[in-house]
Amino acid sequence: MVHLICLNLGLQGISRGSLISIFLKPLFRFLFFLFLSIAGYSLAYALSLSGTVYGGSNPLPNSIVTLNDSSTGGLIGTVSTDGGGIYSFTSLSDGTYNLTVTPPDGSGFGQSVVNGVMISGADVIQNVVLLLAQTFEISGVVRDSNGTLASNIRVTVYEVGGGVAGSVQTDAQGNYSILVAGGNYGLSVNGFAFGTNIPAPKIFDFSSLVSNLSITGNTVQDLEIPAFAQISGYTTDSNGVAVGNVIISGSGDSFVDGVSGFGNINTTSDANGWYSAYVVPSTNYYETITPPNGSGFVSASISSLELSQSILQNIILNYADTIASVITSGPYITSIIDTSAVVEWQTDEPATSEVVINGNLVNIPGFRTQHSVTLSGLTASTSNTVQVSSYDAAGNGPTLSANLNFETFSMPDTTVPTIVSGPAIVGITKNRALVQWVTSEPTTTSLT
């Protein structure tokens, strides 16, 4: 009872609103801090790391930015900078990270690594400035196999296991110069309608002229183009008359002394039928001969052409064959028995061998002028109708013969005759006797 009176006295003068406030403020405070705690937990995994990559003083697009966890080394992600050089990683948690920024090929800037980027409860902006990489000069002259300085030859430097580091054409004195960073490189040379001063194919490439060149400083590397072979000759008809404006084209690969190469043939014969072209030596060229339009000659091709050294190749053009073959002899039916026969004929040019007998086709693959086709599976004592036909190699035809009729032989008699009566000895005298018997069919007469 006393306690109740004291409580009432303690609450005298306090309004109902004040009483509610006294009890609810601690509750709101508790809920507010609970919310902040939960929100803070969520925000810890929704942070970002972003910034701008500069090449010197200018933003550098297309740079590759890689983010790793500094404690484990694990990859977090890789992004490329946009047109303004900006990169961004999102959904990160608190921690320490390492950034690696790789500039685009050919930019001239070096790679940069930023270690120990800390994120702690807030987004972080980390700009990166790339500096020019230390560069060295690869220079020299390009010569052909005779020692002639070669102009307008493209020299390409490529990273071993990587992309192209630089490419340049030689000047009038065969000089070239390319700036690269330190590392291991390969060098290739090629020509592509550049109009070099040395005898060379219109298109050629030696992709591994130098395969592993270590660059730690300015380096002089002279290059020698491997020797070319030459193909030449005349284009004529079958009578030896020159045919001009014939295109000779083709291509081939090579691998000589550890140097891989590629080249083409691309030349046209002159009014006298003469043509000549330089080629990359190869044992496996594919060559195409294309006569002028409207000439009546047909195109031709040659595969596995060996051009490991210079050769003379005269090309004889043929007119298109539009005339079917002619049967010059036959057909004849020979070797007739009860179940088979042979049909034979001759044509004036190689052609196919086809026979239709009683509506069924029989043929022998290939082209020939002497034709012989065996007809088997025939029926004894039966009349048969045969017609032969031939197509030439150009597909002209068919050349057809007239129908030819023949009859197979009857089946051979394989039954042994029997003696149906006798033998009996009759007409016996002192110096002779007669033996008499009867057989089932006419037979020979023999007595022993």
Q: What is the CATH number of the domain that holds 126?
A: 2.60.40.10
Pair (271, 206) in one structural domain: no
Strand partners, 32: none
Question: Does 442 fall in a domain?
Answer: no
Pair (305, 364) in one structural domain: no
Pair (141, 220) in one structural domain: yes
Distances from the Cα of 17 to the Cαs of 4, 21, 23, in angstroms? 21, 6, 10
Q: In this structure, what CATH number is given to the domain that contains residue 262?
A: 2.60.40.1120
Question: Does 274 fall in a domain?
Answer: yes
Given 107, 130, 153, the domain boundary residue is 130
Q: How far is residue 332's CA from residue 374's CA, in Å, rounded to a whole number?
A: 12
Q: What is the mean pLDDT of the chain?
A: 86
Range among 178-182, 269-273, 306-310 rated most confident: 269-273
Pair (70, 96) in one structural domain: yes
Pair (116, 193) in one structural domain: no
Given 316, 350, 380, the domain boundary residue is 316
**pLDDT-above-70 percentage for the chain:** 90
pLDDT in tens, 270-285: 999 999 999 998 888 9
Q: What is the dihedral of CA 157, 159, 165, 169, to 10 degrees?
A: 10
Pair (369, 344) in one structural domain: yes
Pair (300, 249) in one structural domain: yes
Which pLDDT does position 406 carry in this prediction? 95
Residue 17: pLDDT band (50, 70, 90) is very low
Record the tokens describing residue 252, joined without a space.
């081939």
- What counts of helices (H) and strands (E) characterise the chain? 2, 33
Question: Does 79 fall in a domain?
Answer: yes
Which pLDDT does position 177 carry in this prediction? 95
Question: Does 23 fall in a domain?
Answer: no
Which pLDDT does position 289 carry in this prediction? 96
Which pLDDT does position 245 carry in this prediction? 97
Pair (340, 302) in one structural domain: no
| Nearest residue to 336 via CA among 379, 369, 365, 370 | 379
Which residue range(s) make up the domain with 101? 47-130
Question: Does 155 fall in a domain?
Answer: yes
Residue 39: pLDDT band (50, 70, 90) is very low
Pair (139, 126) in one structural domain: no
Q: How far is residue 161's CA from residue 407's CA, in Å, rounded to a whole number?
A: 79
Residue 94: pLDDT band (50, 70, 90) is very high
Pair (272, 253) in one structural domain: yes
Give alpha helix (H) positions in 46-111. none
Total structural domains in the chain? 4
**Three-class SS of residue 160?**
coil
- Residue 33, pLDDT > 50, answer no
The whole-number average pLDDT for the span 408-437 is 86
Question: Does 10 fall in a domain?
Answer: no
pLDDT in tens, 355-407: 999 999 998 889 999 999 999 999 999 999 999 999 998 889 999 999 999 99
Residue 3: pLDDT band (50, 70, 90) is very low
pLDDT in tens, 52-84: 999 888 999 999 999 999 989 999 999 999 999
- Residue 308, pLDDT > 60, answer yes
Question: Does 220 fall in a domain?
Answer: yes
Which pLDDT does position 173 carry in this prediction? 96
Which pLDDT does position 419 carry in this prediction? 87
pLDDT in tens, 286-299: 999 999 999 989 99
Which pLDDT does position 194 carry in this prediction? 62
Pair (272, 297) in one structural domain: yes
Residue 45: pLDDT band (50, 70, 90) is low
Question: Does 306 fall in a domain?
Answer: yes
Q: What is the dihedral of CA 53, 59, 61, 65, to 10 degrees?
A: 0
Pair (220, 255) in one structural domain: no
- Residue 193, pLDDT > 90, answer no
Given 196, 224, 252, the domain boundary residue is 224
Measured from the Cβ of residue 386, the count of other Cβ atoms closer than 10 Å reads 21
